[in-house]
Amino acid sequence: MAVRKIARIDEEKCDGCGLCVTPCAEGAIELVNGKAKIVKEELCDGAGFCLSICPTGALTIEEREAPEFDPAAAQERIHARLEAGDVLSCHKCGTKETEKPLLACRVNGEGVWVCVKCLPRLIHG
């Protein structure tokens, strides 16, 4: 255990939409009884990529005591997800996460994934 950054889910704000489950590339988040939960703390790297995908603002990053991030286990989860065909794609051009890095963005209050090529257009119009 170490004091480190890790995602926090506000149960009151979470409406169980599930948008954060796949975006959590590492597979740390699952829906349990209609609410997002960090089921495996060692899979959350605390980078906060998931935050902007949440439409209700339920996700934040906090600093607290938690098991250390396990990069090998996280990679394994990502690999298994891609193998299963659960691949994220760019909301603008459809480019898959396996082709280009994608970033979570909030557009008109909606959480979407955008590739690095489309991101400048999204920001600057």
Residues making contact with ligand SF4 (CB under 6 A): 9, 14-20, 36, 53-54, 56, 58-59
| Segment lying near Zn ion (by CB under 5 A), choices 4-12, 38-46, 50-58, 109-117 | 109-117
Task: Name the pairing type of β-strands 110-115 and 102-107.
Answer: antiparallel
Give the three-state DSSP class for 120: helix
AA identity, residue 88:
L
Q: Closest CB to ligand SF4 among 15 and 76?
A: 15
Integer Cα distance of 46 and 102 in angstroms: 17
The 67-106 contact track toward Zn ion, x by CB under 5 A, reads -----------------------x-xx-x-----------
